[in-house]
Amino acid sequence: MEYPPEVIAAGSKALSLYEKALPYGERWATMVALQQPPGTSGTDRAFLEGRQNNEQLNDMPRRQAAYVAKEARQAGISISGKYYCAGIADKRGWRDPEAWVTSNDDVLRVAQKRRLHVTGNVNYEPGEAPPKRVLLSESIIKDELKKEKRKNPKAKDGELREKIIEKHAYRVKNR
């Protein structure tokens, strides 16, 4: 009889339990022997399996892994026990502290903060972003500021800017 390696590593008691539960199926016997349920989607256990302790660096060429680890540490990131999730990283890549995660909750928090669509072990759809409203286009303000400066060169830019916005901006309540 061939035992799964994780059951062998768990010791003689686990081997005994495995043999007793084997008539009900290999997967069931493994669960009983290890005293743990199977990993399911959406759990931290399933997410971190094979990813703890920087195991993703083991799959990289040694030089590249050393470079990534060094760059992350120089950016002030402790990568110990964390997994680099490139899908949520910003333009800094592995130098982004929020891209190094320890759980599903970290991935979800970053996805919500950055309004990222993520699927897989963590699913999040940010929906439509609310429209960004500005009172007046910056180009209009600059053009009007030039005109006003010609009329009154001693006036302060801040005051003129306020006047221009008050005069030309769309009137809304509570502004």
Query: pLDDT tens-digit profile of 140-161?
Result: 888 988 988 888 888 888 888 8
Which class for 33: exposed (0-12), middle (13-18), buried (19 or more C-beta within 10 A)? buried
The domain spans of the chain are 5-38, 47-114, 138-168
- Between vectors from CA 40 to CA 36 and to CA 41, what angle results, nearest 5°? 155
pLDDT for position 22:
92
Reported as a single tens digit per residue, the pLDDT across 7-65 is: 999 999 999 999 999 999 998 999 999 988 776 767 777 777 777 777 888 888 999 99
Which class for 40: exposed (0-12), middle (13-18), buried (19 or more C-beta within 10 A)? exposed
Asked if residue 117 has pLDDT above 90, the reply is yes
pTM of the predicted model, to two decimals? 0.57
